[in-house]
Amino acid sequence: MDDSRIIKTEYSEEMQKSFIDYAMSVIIARALPDVRDGLKPVQRRTLYDMHELGIRFDRPYRKCARIVGDTMGKYHPHGDSSIYEALVVMTQDFKKGLPLIDGHGNFGNIEGDGAAAMRYTEARLQRITQEAFLSDLDKDVVDFVPNFDETEKEPSVLPVRIPNFLINGSEGIAVGMTTSTPPHNLGEVIDGVKAYMQNENITTKELMRYVKGPDFPTGGIVINKDELPQIYETGAGKIRLRGKVEFESLKGGKTNVVITEIPYTMAGANISKFLTDVAALSETRKTQDIVDISNQSSKEGIRIVIELKKDADPENFVNLLYKKTRLEDTFGVNMLAISGGRPEIMGLRQIIKAHVDFQFQVATRKYTNLLAHEMEKKEIQEGLIKACNVIDLIIEILRGSRDRAMAKACLTEGKVEGIKFKSRESRLMAEQLSFTEKQAGAILEMRLYKLIGLELEALINEHEETMANIYRYEDILDRRDSMAQVIINELDGYKKAYGRKRRTVIENGREAVYKEKEPQETEVVFVMDRFGYAKTIDMSTYERNRETAESEYKYIVVCRNTGRLCLFTDTGQMHSVKIADLPAGKLRDKGIPIDNVSNYHSETEELVYVASQTELNLCRLIFVTAKAMVKIVGGGEFDVSKRTVAATKLGDGDRVVSIAALHGQKNIILRSEAGYFLRFLISEISEMKKMAVGMRGMNLGEKDSLEAVYYTEDTDVSYIEYKTRSLMLNSIKLARRGGKGVKVKG
């Protein structure tokens, strides 16, 4: 390899430079809209390509695959999916306040269903797009730049007549920055632009008399009206949105809560998530007012119906929806756009100023071009009129000339050499001719029928019309007020043709306050199977099926539905669970994993004891660990509101083997893995604080550990199955705490 071709550079500098180049490319050429036309490059190129293909609003639809392929091949070499996605969004009236493309076929819906493949769908330009976005491109009103391979020319910006950046809004993610501009009402924004043009010192607050706030295509309610002036002054902030809710009274005193408009942020797949969230409120017992949920939305609009119980409070329930679901949501505003070739966060006044400045630039270029065209017409018209007055001389010149060049030289410079004239007077008159080059060319190409009287009269009328146009264009170019009036007249025309009533209500909404209904306190039974699935059942159901329940469930605890359940684990932790968080069901219902409603992790710890908070407050607990440490703790120490607390202190490598409530037991029997049994009086165990390690209960061998714990009364005759024999516990000799115990053979 030729060493002279190897460029040596600092790696960090090269990476920094490359990343900056990449970031700027994404920011300027991909993700952010231009404040002048409110379009990202992919949107601008798609619209321009449709214009070039002649897919107008009054012509047949064309396959989207053709549009996408042509756009990608000529202007946007970044993949067909990005082009088609941009095209789809520009057709969706629930995303855009003013759709720019007329789609034919399945272009998705507000509930999140995607568009059909581009080979199935068709599209054409909307009328307003043709009129307000793409007209006058032939009048040199914007700069054209080479495309990516310099085989085509494309406009650097479209000559958009309306403030599209505000009307349709924009969303995009660049490198290190995002843009998020809400859509606005076309009529209001046009009124704001007119107000600015009439008073360039107008303040943002004064502009908001016209532009009252965002106007989302999905409607809804903006509830922080007082915060909007600050948002529109700085170009950033948060808009709080709510859906529109109505109440329908049914027979029997029931009420339907009907959602007829949703927040803009819920459009798409978030509607199904909203339905799931509402169902979850019932499943998690946050509310018990819901009877049924149904999505009855159609082409006519959104209609989500929630049927409530007879005694439900609809207002309170709606407040719950506002607090716990996306029926109330936040739209983050960050009005970032490309202005003057660089990204800038702009307030309302800055955006309108940029639009107005652009309109004056476009109008200046347009009318300069039109004036030049009319001046050219004027020159030719004057030449033809003058020629008609001396038509006999001109015919004589043409008949007497050898070629076109000789005739043209005579018409422009009065050169008569070589031309045969009928008389000396004609020759002298020809020497006086001084037509311009363009006039001479027009005369030479003039047809004889132009000499008809009516044609000559039409030519004179056309000249008068041309002179009127010249006067008008010069006035527009010379006087800013005249140009401003032309722009205002155009805006009024668009407002009249395409304006619509505001959809989004703007107000200062009250904070949603949900008053949780106090549940009626009843006695229930907590049951949990060996797989960790838990629920509560009615006391009466348990009483009727006691034997079945005791055979199928590992833990059964009688408790209050307003109380808490305490789960003690072998790791020395106590996890607290609200009974209200557990599903209430029938005996055969599956329930939910206890892990879902507590901090208990069945994979890393094992349940040792389960009791209700009420029960704990009335008893004492005896703790026994694998290393034979024992202690008694008052149950009141576990009356805490935290979800997880340490229930005991454990030595290194130790774990809790048994926890039991003391209800008059006299003896405790400890059994080790090596087969040693030690029976002693419970009264020998001291009562300690929960964070004490405890005292030695049994003297274990070096590799021995405690395996099981039993409790008896003095007069009990209790048997256990131990290996191959039946062992009576009270037959074990009563000893002292801390002894080694006796070895029992199986």
How many CA atoms lie less than 13 Å away from 568 in the CB half-sphere?
26
Q: Is 61 a catalytic residue?
A: no
Distance CA 158, CA 49 (A): 12
For the record, the structure tokens of 402 come out as 């050898």
Distance CA 157, CA 338 (A): 11
**Torsion region of 252: left, alpha or beta (phi above 0 gives left; psi -120 to 50 gives alpha):** left
Distance CA 124, CA 189 (A): 26
Q: 605 Cβ partners below 8 Å, 6+ apart?
A: 569, 570, 571, 573
Task: Out of 22, 120, 471, 719, pick the active-site residue.
Answer: 120
Q: By the 8 A CB rule, do 669 and 707 touch?
A: no
Distance CA 624, CA 698 (A): 10
C-beta neighbour count of 124 within 10 angstroms:
23
595-604: long-range contacts at Cβ-Cβ below 8 A with a sequence spacing of 24 or more? Answer: 595/532, 597/534, 598/567, 598/643, 599/575, 599/643, 599/644, 600/567, 600/569, 600/575, 602/532, 604/571
C-alpha pair distances (Å), 300 with each of 110, 236, 274, 369: 12, 34, 20, 47
First-to-last CA distance in the chain? 85
Q: By the 8 A CB rule, do 157 and 142 touch?
A: yes
393 phi/psi in degrees, rounded to 5: -65, -45
The per-residue DSSP string of 55-114 comes to: --TTS--EEHHHHHHHHHHHT--S-HHHHHHHHHHTT-TTT-SS--EEEES-B--TTSPP
β-bridge mates for residue 44, sequence order: none
Q: By the 8 A CB rule, do 309 and 254 touch?
A: yes
Distance CA 45, CA 157 (A): 10
For the record, the structure tokens of 369 come out as 């071009």
| Block residue for tokens 């109008």 | 363
Bridge-based pairing state of the strands 221-222 and 236-242: antiparallel
Active site members? 120
